[in-house]
Amino acid sequence: MRAVLYDRYGSPDVLYLSRVPRPEPGPGEILVKVRAFSVNGGETAARSGRLRALTGRRFPKRVGMDFSGEVAALGPGVARFTVGDLVWGVTGRTAFGSAAEYVAVPAERAGLLPEGVDPVRAASLPAATAAVVALRDKAGLRPGDRLLVRGAAGGVGHAVVQLGRAWGAEVTGLARAANLDFVRELGAHRAVDHRGVRPEELGRFDVVVDTVGSDLGAYRRLLRPGGRMVTIAFDLGRPVASLGGIALSAVHGRRRIRFFSGNPHRAEFDDLARLVSEGSLRPAVDRVFPLEETADAHRALEAGGVRGKYVVRVA
């Protein structure tokens, strides 16, 4: 099968398309014929070498964290799916490899696509499971809460805006000036150019959801009494200081920063399907690339300014 690989850390130029053996599903796994996948910040950071302490120096390496596609085969012990089912899912927090014609993944990391949803557009949504967890489980968002979303036009942020509005919050989204109309279209009551305002000028909030990772302390100070801040990112330029600051926030005062790295299971994909079916969440695809142009998709994401997701079509 065809797959995207790289033999050294570096810019998107290190990515290349090659042929590798098609995987076989092991116990508890499904083999998925990939229709599409999206490009995520975690994989671009891994490819560039910024996470080499975690990813190591064994090459070649693969890219692609999420996917949509069709079940092609079942491993031993899998009863929930049947061959031919349309599914979406993730490879797992520390695994990559969906940038390929086939991928074998644990069945618990996948869910059935909602009926009528285009598989290519659906590839933009697995990351939205992080938005569900951030708002519902970590922040306990309530109707009437004032919600601030950093990175409101991005892969997770655009889902946070939609769900915040659907769940009754008053939503303020921070994004680039060129994306403010898009953020308003998603449902934000207020869209603000992040480059033209200081944090202290934004007001006070019950919930802050951060997808950027920098200056976390400045945004933590915007919380009202009883406020909650959730981040899915940390500052890759200062990882030790950034993660240390997150840890210290739990010690000093009640306004701690809740940090988590999305690693969804079956239940989260069932929730995602329900939210899409009821209209609370819709795909937002900025641009679709062919598999041969995966490097261009990485370049586009690293250039900034994405509206929703960049998706790569495999078949």
pLDDT, averaged across the chain: 92
> pTM to 2 decimals?
0.92
Location of each CATH 3.90.180.10 domain in the chain: 2-125+283-313
Region 262-266: mean pLDDT is: 85
The answer to whether the beta carbons of residues 264 and 109 sit under 8 Å apart is: yes
Domain made up of 127-259: CATH architecture: 3-Layer(aba) Sandwich (3.40)
Classify strands 66-74 and 29-38 as parallel, antiparallel or unpaired: antiparallel
Domain made up of 2-125+283-313: CATH architecture: Alpha-Beta Complex (3.90)
The answer to whether the beta carbons of residues 100 and 1 sit under 8 Å apart is: yes
Location of each CATH 3.40.50.720 domain in the chain: 127-259
More confident residue, 171 or 93: 171
Q: Is the pLDDT of residue 194 over 90?
A: yes
Q: Is the pLDDT of residue 239 over 60?
A: no
What pLDDT is recorded for position 138?
93
Q: What is the pLDDT of residues 209-221, one digit of tens each?
A: 999 988 888 999 9
Query: Distances from the Cα of 2 to the Cαs of 10, 108, 168, 231, 314, in angstroms?
Result: 21, 25, 45, 35, 9
Region 162-170: mean pLDDT is: 98
- Please spell the DSSP secondary structure of 21-61, one letter per residue: PPP---TTEEEEEEEEEE--HHHHHHHHTTTHHHH-S-SSE
Classify strands 66-74 and 86-90 as parallel, antiparallel or unpaired: antiparallel
Q: Is the pLDDT of residue 175 over 90?
A: yes
More confident residue, 245 or 150: 150
Query: Distances from the Cα of 300 to the Cαs of 14, 156, 210, in angstroms?
Result: 15, 17, 21
Find tokens 């949509």 and name the residue. Answer: 68
DSSP lists the bridge partners of residue 88 as: 68, 111
Q: What is the pLDDT of residues 55-98, one digit of tens each?
A: 899 999 999 999 999 999 999 999 999 999 999 999 987 789 99
More confident residue, 164 or 248: 164
